[in-house]
């Protein structure tokens, strides 16, 4: 058997210098592309995570609003009224003549412009506020902490304030921000029975001990009491527009309301609205820092003074688009939270008439 003829050393061909340089160039380009893609992916992930963290506090606060609001109550009952629509009191007991039955409640449910309800300036407290009673079990007495159904007065509104509630050991300068404020009146301090006319007086005090910041960088809160959008045909208490019950965003369970002129089925006296639409607008901390550099310790102007006063569907959409457009045009990162809250204690009656 013959052996194969060996290849001479000079006939063996390897990689040329040009081929090596070309392969190294291609490999470098591939590595550069991989590094860029990895870097971009990492940046997007960090940015997305940062935004999620920025709005986590707002999301938690929004869930707290909807959870507590759903428990609002008026605990209404039927009482006697005279022909003038007055209840029997100690002052008229001797001459009181009952003429009819009617709903009544000592409790209150109130929605409106924060500056109107609390008597403050609209630039520092923009948007709407809501105040109500609910069995949330908040007590100043530690012996009552296990009583989870104690009645409290509760509320929410936006306030432009410094971070004065920051602990002294936390370093840093005072920061001015729009903040979502939660108002909590404990059972032992309920004013609704002692002096109904002053039931919110301690909420009107600057930095009241009954208020605390629930979330920072909340620039607006809008509240719209509504009737159901779906129901039996020709039922006047069914409202697809969402604007019939509170056409001007105002609702007060101690009055017949601004919509009662359109029919008894819109009478808010001693009644909870079946639904409440809650809309909250939050911005991120980077945007808040930019606004603070521009406005200092003065509240930024987002044009809210002329917005959210007309609850018609077209105007609601127009106002929200105008606010979103303003924030986008000024490079402000924001998020809108919105939902409808069903009030468990609402038993809406279209048969009620004004007393």
The stretch 124-129 carries a mean pLDDT of 96
Q: What is the distance between the alpha carbons of residues 218 and 216, in angstroms, rounded to a whole number?
A: 6
Based on the number of CB atoms within 10 Å of its own CB, is 140 exposed (0-12), middle (13-18) or buried (19 or more)? exposed
Query: Are 43 and 198 in contact, with CB atoms under 8 Å apart?
Result: no
Q: Could you tell me what percent of the chain has a pLDDT over 90?
A: 59
pLDDT number for residue 354:
43
Residue-averaged pLDDT of the chain? 88
Instruction: Give me 246's structure tokens.
Output: 């509170």
Q: 3-state DSSP call for residue 23?
A: helix
Kindly provide the b/e burial profile for residues 252-282, where b requires at least 16 CB atoms within 10 angstroms of the residue's own CB. bbeebbbbbeeeebbbbbbbbbbbbbbbbbb
Q: What is the distance between the alpha carbons of residues 256 and 117, in angstroms, rounded to a whole number?
A: 17
pLDDT tens column, 1-28:
556 666 555 555 666 777 778 888 888 8
Predicted confidence band of residue 143 (pLDDT cuts 50, 70, 90): confident
Q: 3-state DSSP call for residue 191?
A: helix
Count CA within 13 A, CB hemisphere, residue 334.
Answer: 24
Query: Are 130 and 166 in contact, with CB atoms under 8 Å apart?
Result: no
pLDDT number for residue 38:
77
355 has a pLDDT exceeding 70: no
pLDDT tens column, 243-287:
999 999 999 999 998 888 788 789 899 999 999 999 999 999 999
240 has a pLDDT exceeding 70: yes
* For the chain, domain boundaries: 50-78+105-342
Predicted confidence band of residue 353 (pLDDT cuts 50, 70, 90): very low
pLDDT tens column, 171-224:
667 889 999 999 999 999 999 998 898 999 999 988 888 999 999 999 999 999
Predicted confidence band of residue 45 (pLDDT cuts 50, 70, 90): low
């Amino acid at each position: 058997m013959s052996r194969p003829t060996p290849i001479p050393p000079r006939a063996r061909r390897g990689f040329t210098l040009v081929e090596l340089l070309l392969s190294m160039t291609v490999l470098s380009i591939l590595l550069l592309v991989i590094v860029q893609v990895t870097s971009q992916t990492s940046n997007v992930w960090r940015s997305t995570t940062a935004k999620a963290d920025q709005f986590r506090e707002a999301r938690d606060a929004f869930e707290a609003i909807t959870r507590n609001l759903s428990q609002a109550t008026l605990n209404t009952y039927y009482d006697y009224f005279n022909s003038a629509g007055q209840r029997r009191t100690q002052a008229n007991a001797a001459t009181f003549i009952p003429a009819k039955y009617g709903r009544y409640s000592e409790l209150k449910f109130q929605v409106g412009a924060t500056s109107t309800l609390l008597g403050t300036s609209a630039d520092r407290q923009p948007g709407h506020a809501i105040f109500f009673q609910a069995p949330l079990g908040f007590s100043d007495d530690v012996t009552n902490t296990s009583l989870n159904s104690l009645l409290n007065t509760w509320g929410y509104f936006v306030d432009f304030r410094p971070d004065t509630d920051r602990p002294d050991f936390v370093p840093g300068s005072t920061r001015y921000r729009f903040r979502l404020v939660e108002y909590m009146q404990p059972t032992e301090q309920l004013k609704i029975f002692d002096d109904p006319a002053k039931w919110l007086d301690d909420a009107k005090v600057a930095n009241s001990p009954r208020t605390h910041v629930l979330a920072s960088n909340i620039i607006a809160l809008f509240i719209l009491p509504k009737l159901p959008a779906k129901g039996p045909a020709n039922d006047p208490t069914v409202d697809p527009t969402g604007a019939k019950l509170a056409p001007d965003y105002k609702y007060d369970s101690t009055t017949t309301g601004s919509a009662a002129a359109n029919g008894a089925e819109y009478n808010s006296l001693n009644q909870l609205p079946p639904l409440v639409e809650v809309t909250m607008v939050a911005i991120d901390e980077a945007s808040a820092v930019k606004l603070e550099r521009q406005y200092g310790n003065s509240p930024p102007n987002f044009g809210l003074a002329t917005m959210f006063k007309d609850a018609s569907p077209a105007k609601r959409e127009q106002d929200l688009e105008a606010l979103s457009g303003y924030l986008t045009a000024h490079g402000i990162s924001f998020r809108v939270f919105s939902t409808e809250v069903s009030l468990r204690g609402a038993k809406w009656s279209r048969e009620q008439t004004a007393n």
